[in-house]
Structure 1
Amino acid sequence: MNLLQLIRSFTRTADTGSIAAAARSLGISATAVGQNIHRLEAHLGVRLLNRSTRQLALSEAGALYLAQVRHIETDLARAQALVTSGDIEPAGPLRIASSRAFGRHVLAPLLPSLQQRYPQLQLELRLSDRAVQHGPEAVDASIRIGAQLEDGVVARPLARIPFVFCASPAYLQAHGWPQEPSDLRGHRGVLHRFPTDGRPLRWGLRKGDQRADAPLPPGMVCDDIDALAELAAAGAGITRLAAFVADPFLRDGRLQAVFGADSAWRPEPMEVYFCVSDRRDFTARIRALFDHLQAGLPPAWRA
């Protein structure tokens, strides 16, 4: 009997709320997960899960057992990674969570070369702008901006990516070109609503030691970065985009930068962090990912 395998089936089922979801996370069949839990209950002589046609719930004994075995599973995985990392080529599953825009525009182009370098890695990229729970969701590393950082994660600076305030040429011709942050009061904003709490993110500007938040009235609000670019290009107003989204629109002239290189006021950059749940999680696989991303980013973005 592989007790650790039985424990993993139990903890993953408790975390995900269903045997089917636990099976998908573990990469085994739902039947195997169910059998593992039955074997664990038989081994312990107690019922760990109360089952009904609609849901699974931890029994009192199950809740006590889960609290005790969770750290054992984590410590065993870390111990195995620690003693096998050495000079051995990184291998095994590597689950990476990222915000949608950064994952789509930055991570996706970089990850294939990482897998080519380390073919034994099994990469999984999960894109979401919501909060990510590393343990319950079996995430090995996440790439987050400052506003997304969850309590308790270990965050290493990865990049400082320029933000660009921009609008369509037709919009700027019709409504004027702002020179100072206060000029934005008379413009329409195309704002990003952050999914974690529903609030529009603040737009910061700096001129030397001075700082100002852009007083931009919301004309339109959207929760998708790529859609913001299209809205602004269609004349909806002024938006703020990360350079990796804005650059193609600036190159082909569909958008023009406001507070650009010729302005004393510059948008504050986007701080991007590489996150794990614990310092001990920097195994060979995680270090390989971190080093690869740092090397692949434009030099001007590196933190």
Structure 2
Amino acid sequence: MKKIENLENLRVFCEIVETGSAREACEKLHIEPSNAFRIIRAMEKELKSKFFDRSQRPMKLTPEGKRYYSYVFRILQLEEELEEELTDSADSLTGPIHVASTAGFRESLIVPSAVEFQMKHPGISIEVKDMVSGVSEFLTTPDNESNDIVFMYRPSDELPEGAILRDCGPMHFIACASPAYLTQQGEPERPSDCMRHTGLLLRLPNRTSVSYLSKNGVTEKLDWKQTMAFTSQVNARDALLLGAGIVPDMAFDQCVDYLKDGRIVPVMRGWTRPPRHCCVITTEKALRKKRVRLFADWLTVRATKYTDEMNKAFFSFPRKGL
């Protein structure tokens, strides 16, 4: 067998590339460095190419090495997927489920749903992770550990090939602040008044704070005296409760309890941004596993009920308040 046809040799090459160190790669693979270098030299000889620039420390991939690595990575990825398909029964109710979402949804929906599901299916382990990028990057992660399910707002971009979206209903947003902030800074009546205020803005993986609000068909731009930006809606809410400023588009589910007890109050009443639809996104590959299908169904039902309850609460909230 040629060196380039041996998967173990390909793993040696990939490990050296990914660790950036032949010594670390050999320690991880439990082989002698001399054997690793012998394998690499034999592969280079067979392909009549140089993969590494050995004049640099640490060694750098040559252009040929980069191209070779892109193919080898895909070959090993396919081999891992094949092994998973053969060893992990599609009908098994044991094994892991990888779920990703942003902090707000994790706190209010994902974690409670996962806990309840796992209590009914103790053989299934659920890993709940922070979503740090858009769906195209997060369904297949750079570390090659794919997520089975992502819960997020409906993406504006086209879904990746093989992705399946389940709509769970709309979420509304309001502009709000704490009573302490308004006592000190005054209350804006419309977006143009925000030039005298601090904006607490969101920079989430699939949603950023809007630069405008609308009311009765009229749209006004939001300009702020100063701003603070957050990559977590939970953190933005905490800053809001501390009297730091105004969130122009807080998701209603993240503030409804605080609205009821008066710790958060609406501002710019009637001015709002369009709602966004919540959705469960998974893949054809993930849904081959019964455990993933069950949890995707479980989460979809609970998320749909959750958004329905939030919509009823939003429209039944005193009109003078929103």
TM over 0.5: yes
Within the candidate set 177, 181, 192, 1:171 is matched to 181
1:229 is displaced (CA, Å) by: 1.6
Q: Is the 8 A contact 1:82 1:283 kept in 2?
A: no
Distance 1:62 1:167, change over 3 A: closer
- Describe how 1:131-280 pairs up with structure 2 within 5 A: 132-133=137-138, 134-137=140-143, 138-141=145-148, 142-145=150-153, 152=160, 154=163, 156-159=165-168, 160-173=170-183, 176-194=186-204, 201-202=209-210, 205=213, 207=215, 210=217, 212=219, 215-217=222-224, 219-223=226-230, 224-239=232-247, 240-258=249-267, 264-276=270-282, 279-280=284-285
Residue identity matched to 1:217: W
Q: CA deviation at 1:121?
A: 2.4
> 1:78 and 1:236, CA in 2 relative to 1: closer, same or farther beyond 3 A?
same
Relative distance call for 1:250 and 1:49 in structure 2 (3 A) is farther
In the other structure, the counterpart of 1:91 is 94
- CA deviation after TM superposition for structure 1 residue 13, in Å: 4.2
| Structure-2 separation of matches of 1:11 and 1:156 | 37
Q: 1-side partners of 2:186 and 2:123: how far apart?
A: 55
With 182-191 and 9-18 compared, the bigger mean Cα shift is at: 9-18
Contact 2:131 2:205 in 1 (8 A): no
* Stretches of structure 1 lacking an aligned partner (at least 5 in a row): 24-29
Letter in 2 for 1:245: Q
Secondary structure at the counterpart of residue 255 of structure 2? helix
On the 8 A contact 1:205/1:265 being kept in 2, the answer is: yes
> What is the CA–CA distance in structure 2 between the aligned matches of 1:121 and 1:18, rounded to whole Å?
35
User: 1:237: how far off?
Assistant: 2.3
State the TM-score, normalizing by the size of structure 2: 0.64
2:81 to 70, 77, 80: 77
Q: Per-residue displacement from partner, 1:184-229 (whole Å, max 9, x unpaired)? A: 4554322224579xx9631564557x37365141533122322322
Q: Match for 1:161: what amino acid?
A: M
Query: Are 1:294 and 2:300 counterparts?
Result: yes
Going from structure 1 to structure 2, the CA distance change for 1:118 and 1:214 (only over 3 Å counts) comes to farther
Query: Partners of 1:8 and 1:119 in 2: how far apart?
Result: 37
For residues 204 and 103 of structure 1, do their structure 2 counterparts lie closer, same or farther at Cα, with a shift above 3 Å needed?
Answer: farther
Instruction: Give 1:46's aligned residue.
Output: 43
Counterpart of 1:282, as a letter, is L
Tell me: CA distance 1:45–1:15, structure 2 relative to 1, closer, same or farther (3 Å).
closer
Q: 2:112 aligns with which of 109, 112, 130?
A: 109
Amino acid at match of 1:46: M
Q: 1:42-101: per-residue Cα shift (whole Å, max 9, x none)?
A: 599526985999757657468426415626744873796499766x24332322232233
The CA distance in 2 between the partners of 1:129 and 1:156, in whole Å, is: 19
Q: Contact (CA 8 Å) 2:97, 2:127: kept in 1 or not?
A: yes
Q: What's the CA shift for 1:301?
A: 1.5
Task: Give the 3-state SS of the residue equivalent to 2:71 in structure 1.
Answer: helix
Structure 1 vs Structure 2: percent identity of aligned residues?
20
Residue of 118, 121, 124 corresponding to 1:118: 121
> What is the count of residue pairs matched by the alignment?
286
**Contact 1:242–1:270 at 8 Å: present in 2 too?**
no
Question: What's the Cα RMSD here?
Answer: 4.8
Cα distance in structure 1, aligned partners of 2:32 and 2:292? 29
Distance in 1 separating the partners of 2:220 and 2:61: 48
Q: Which has the larger radius of gyration?
A: 2
Instruction: Show structure 2 runs of 5+ residues with no match.
Output: 45-49, 312-322
SS at match of 2:210: coil
What is the one-letter code of the residue matched to 2:94? A
Q: Distance in 2 between matches of 1:43 and 1:126?
A: 37
Distance 1:227 1:12, change over 3 A: farther
Aligned to 1:283: 288
Where 2:227 maps in the other structure, the secondary structure is strand
Aligned to 1:26: none
Does the 8 Å contact 2:11/2:76 carry over to 1?
no
1:232–1:61 CA distance, 2 compared to 1 (3 A): closer
Contact 2:99 2:129 in 1 (8 A): yes
1:127 maps to: 130
For 1:150 and 1:34, locate their aligned partners in 2 and report how far apart those are by CA, in whole Å: 43
